[in-house]
DNA sequence: TCAATCAATAGCCAGAAGGTTATCGATCAC
DNA sequence: GTGATCGATAACCTTCTGGCTATTGATTGA
């Protein structure tokens, strides 16, 4: 049972997949065809990546006739932001502890 | 030729490896033995993970006699923080563009 | 000196992951 | 209705990855 961080890191770890997500962030909603033409891999590969991005909550799909439009869901990045600031928080806490220790030793 | 984001995401994608890094962030410097005892995998596996974390710049090693102490290098997370805020930035820019468009349409 | 301990490396294996081509269902254009 | 297009799925293959055991090198302690 992978947690939210697992899914996010794993999903964004692949360069091709992350490039697709970045493009959606930069340029907004796009069809599978448009994404495929700039991706360097085949259409099925792109579809598979989009499926994983959707499972991770990183993109939304919208069907319109026979084409599917995908767009980035930026809110899905929150756990990642939380994680990094948490790590930074631990760091600072330990640093503060060290400062305290040094201060006490100084007395 | 993978870029900095690639390396960071890929390195942090594995749960076991990320758990080791988190532990180093939370609790500070630790020996390989200490990390192994709480990791659920074998010592060679831990050493391999530490090697990858070191390659990614996420940890530092310090040799002391026959034991090796590892500690987190939090600065290595910067590219990741930059990336997320960049994505958020694109999002807001596009949102502003949409607002502008709506405003112009309104006139 | 010799046995024990710590961590890294070597070599191997199973499973996951990303890619491909082929195909299918659905929609659109004629 | 028929052929073309769009995107998802199926089936398959290859490579990468993370795990293991065994071993080695270095250091320590008896």
B61 touches strand C (CB under 7 A): yes
Judge whether residue B57 has pLDDT over 80: yes
Looking at per-residue pLDDT, the higher value among B95 and A71 belongs to A71
Judge whether residue A96 has pLDDT over 70: no
Confidence tier at A18 by pLDDT (50, 70, 90): very high
State residue A3's pLDDT score: 83
Residue whose entry in the numeric block shows the structure tokens 């659920």: B40
| Residue from B2, B3, B4, B9 whose CB has the most chain A CBs within 10 Å, to mutate | B9
Judge whether residue A91 has pLDDT over 80: no
Q: Average pLDDT for residues B28-51, to the nearest whole number?
A: 97
Joined together, the tokens standing for residue A5 give 């961080």
Tell me the CA end-to-end span of chain A in Å, nearest whole number.
Answer: 50
What gap in Å lies between CA B53 and CA B57, rounded to an integer? 6
CA–centroid distance for B99 within its chain? 35
What gap in Å lies between CA B25 and CA B27, rounded to an integer? 6
What gap in Å lies between CA A18 and CA A1, rounded to an integer? 23
Looking at per-residue pLDDT, the higher value among A73 and A92 belongs to A73
Secondary structure letter of residue A31 according to DSSP: E
Closest Cα in chain A, distance from residue B30 (Å): 14
Q: Average pLDDT for residues A86-107, to the nearest whole number?
A: 71
What gap in Å lies between CA B32 and CA A50, rounded to an integer? 39
Closest Cα in chain B, distance from residue A9 (Å): 5
Q: Average pLDDT for residues B50-72, to the nearest whole number?
A: 97
Assembly ipTM: 0.88
The fold for domain B4-106 equals Arc Repressor Mutant, subunit A (1.10.10)
Confidence tier at A90 by pLDDT (50, 70, 90): confident
Judge whether residue A84 has pLDDT over 90: yes
What gap in Å lies between CA B2 and CA A18, rounded to an integer? 13
What gap in Å lies between CA A50 and CA B74, rounded to an integer? 31
Confidence tier at B25 by pLDDT (50, 70, 90): very high
Q: Tell me the domain boundaries of chain A.
A: 4-106
What gap in Å lies between CA A107 and CA B101, rounded to an integer? 64
Joined together, the tokens standing for residue A84 give 């990094």
């Amino acid at each position: 049972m992978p947690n939210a961080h697992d899914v996010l890191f794993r999903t964004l770890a692949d360069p091709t997949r992350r490039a697709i997500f970045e493009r959606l962030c930069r340029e907004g909603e796009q069809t599978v065809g448009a994404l495929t033409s700039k991706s360097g891999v085949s259409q099925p590969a792109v579809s598979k990546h989009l499926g994983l991005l959707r499972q991770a909550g990183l993109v939304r799909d919208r069907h319109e006739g026979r084409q599917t439009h995908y767009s980035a869901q930026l809110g899905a990045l929150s756990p990642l932001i939380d994680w990094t600031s948490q790590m930074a928080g631990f760091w600072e806490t330990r640093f503060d502890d060290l400062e305290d220790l040094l201060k006490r030793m100084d007395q």
